[in-house]
Amino acid sequence: MNLKTLQEKVNLQGKHTTRYHLYTQQEKEILTMTVKLNEEVGELCNDILSILRVQRKAKLEKFDKRNVYEEFADVILTTLQLASSAKVDIERAVEDKIKKIEKRKSTKGE
């Protein structure tokens, strides 16, 4: 099967055109910030691969180690923006998660 035939089969199913309607501005903002977060995580991963020197040679030559600080910041800032869009109390979320981890550690005797 070639790509054109595969594309026609997928289009015939029609599922992708009816399933994902976003109605509100908030939904659109959440989707946008989620995609943006994925992009920023990808950029951070790219820099980590360069630090570990498991990146392509062309990328290693262009890599500036100072950029990794910026990418960590991008991930954190975008996460905070996404939390705001999704109306998530990020302080409470982090505090609750830390409590959960500490509780797990204490029950395991760590």
Q: Which residues bind Mg ion (CB under 5 A)?
A: 40, 43, 74
Cα–Cα dist 106/100, whole Å: 10
Cβ 43 to Mg ion, closest distance in Å? Answer: 4
Compare residues 46 and 84 and give the one whose CB is closer to Mg ion.
Answer: 46
User: Helix, strand, coil % (nearest 5) of the chain?
Assistant: 80, 0, 20
Residue nearest to Mg ion as judged by C-beta position: 74
Cβ 26 to Mg ion, closest distance in Å? Answer: 24
Compare residues 29 and 74 and give the one whose CB is closer to Mg ion.
Answer: 74
Q: Which two tokens stand for residue 3?
A: 């790509």
Placement of tokens 């509780």 in the chain: 103
Compare residues 10 and 76 and give the one whose CB is closer to Mg ion.
Answer: 76
